[in-house]
Amino acid sequence: MRTRLSSWLVLSLLCPGCASVSLDTQSPRAQGEHRARLNGLELWYQISGSGPVCIFPTPGWGPSSDIYIASMKPLEEQFTIVYLDTRGTGRSERPQTPQEYTSKHFSDDLDALRRHIGAKRIWVMGHSSGGIMALHYALTYPKQIEGLLILDSLANGGDEFSTEELRVRWQALKEHPPFRPIVEALTDLWFGGSWCDQTEAQFKDPKGMPLYFSTMDAYEKTYAAFKTAWDSTTFSYDAFQGTCASAGLDFSLVDHLGQIPCPTLLVVGAADFICSLKEAQRLHLLLPNSKLLVIEKAGHFPWIEQPEEFFLWVRKYLPAMGYPKKINSK
């Protein structure tokens, strides 16, 4: 370990932005869990599957990767998936200041991980805010990106389009009687002030979780199916505060999406209220080389609510996205 750390210190002096060091004894590309010092932080990642390398970061604002690892197994037949607990979340080290959660920090971490595992070009998959992270990476490192899988995400959360769309979808949730009490209880939190002013107790309160599914029955069914993974998924309040303090993007992503030439598969649950079908359609219109896949009877987690439909159609779409080999889509 001493030799490894000494080598890292020398490399960091010669090239501050590209220093990395493994903190375990196995190859950085081996299957299983890993820890590595990337961009000055000890980050945790897990490699599973076979095929082209696809880095799958958590959304950045707090959750760990446990639920993704448990529910994305079928896609590991097509990709070597590198699940990453982003800085400050899960098993990864938190930065020293809350201002170190910008989109640039996340993109630089992804590319440091790409170099660390020895991948020349990569696919990147992102869910929700992780989709914004993936899109920003494609803009920042266009020569290193092979393709994008964007799951239930949006172009620029917080602008006028997204804010109005969220209000419309929020009101629509009241039409579903089992959701109505939850919506009424959370309306002030969502629309009465600053989202970033949440206390830690409010941030970790699971009361609103059913809203991310198409129906209450779907929530109860899928929660039971992945109970261990849901219960193992941690939520970092430090990362939540950091992403708020860092203000995410330093520019409008909407204005730059036309510069992303790589193939992009957009997948959205038709009943998703927070990253809605209209948000996915806007992405589809702005991205020059994209395809849109809509999963019916699904909310924010379509691969969990409708796994057969999701994985079947993703496999069918992959060849058109430049996937490098013929696959069985049955």
The per-residue pLDDT for range 239-252, each reduced to its tens digit, is 999 999 998 666 77
User: What six digits make up the tokens of 89?
Assistant: 């979340």
pLDDT > 50? residue 9 = no
Q: How far apart are CA 229 and CA 14, in angstroms?
A: 41
Question: Which 3 state secondary structure label does DSSP give 306?
Answer: coil
Top pLDDT among 325 and 231 is at 231
Confidence of residue 19 (pLDDT cuts 50, 70, 90): low
Dihedral of the CA atoms 12, 17, 18, 24 (nearest 10)? 70
- Residue 6 confidence class, pLDDT cut points 50, 70, 90: very low
18 vs 2: CA distance, rounded Å: 20
Q: Supply the pLDDT for residue 217.
A: 96
pLDDT given for residue 8 in this prediction: 37
Categorize the per-residue pLDDT at 326 as very low, low, confident or very high, splitting at 50, 70 and 90: low
Going by pLDDT thresholds of 50, 70 and 90, the confidence category of residue 323 is: confident
Task: Tell me the average pLDDT across 150-164.
Answer: 89
| Type of residue at 207 | K
In sequence order, what are the beta bridge partners of 36?
22, 43
Arithmetic mean of pLDDT, 169-175: 94
pLDDT band at 2 (very low <50, low <70, confident <90, very high): very low
Q: Is the pLDDT of residue 231 over 70?
A: yes
Taking the C-alpha atoms of residue 95 and residue 106, their distance in angstroms, rounded to an integer, is 12
- pLDDT average, residue stretch 108-136: 97
Of 193-197, 210-214, 275-279, the one with minimum mean pLDDT is 193-197
pLDDT at 123: 98
| Whether pLDDT at 227 is above 60 | yes
Q: What is the pLDDT of residue 322?
A: 87
pLDDT of residue 252: 78
What is residue 193's predicted lDDT score, i.e. its pLDDT? Answer: 77
- Label the pairing between strands 122-127 and 145-151: parallel
Q: Give CA–CA dist 191/172, Å, rounded.
A: 15
Predicted local distance difference test score (pLDDT) of residue 115: 98
More confident residue, 26 or 153: 153
61-119 confidence digits (pLDDT tens): 999 999 999 999 999 999 999 999 999 999 999 999 999 999 999 999 999 999 999 99
**Residue 120 pLDDT more than 50?**
yes
- Determine contact, residues 83/74, Cβ cutoff 8 Å: no
pLDDT above 80 (res 143): yes
Please give the full DSSP string across 144-184, using - where no structure is assigned: GEEEEEEES--S-TTSHHHHHHHHHHHHHHTTSGGGHHHHH
* CATH class of the domain whose range is 35-159+244-321: alpha beta
Give the H or E element holding residue 107.
helix 103-116
Between β-strands 290-295 and 264-269, what pairing exists: parallel, antiparallel or unpaired?
parallel
Mean pLDDT of 190-204: 90
Judge whether residue 15 has pLDDT over 70: no
CB-based contacts of 168: which residues, under 8 Å, 6+ apart?
none
pLDDT band at 12 (very low <50, low <70, confident <90, very high): very low
Mean pLDDT, residues 190-217: 92
At 330 the pLDDT is 41
Q: Do 215 and 175 touch, CB atoms closer than 8 A?
A: no
CB burial class (10 A; 0-12, 13-18, 19+) of residue 303? buried
Q: What is the mean pLDDT of residues 113-129?
A: 98
Indicate whether 33 pLDDT > 80. Answer: yes
Length of the chain: 330
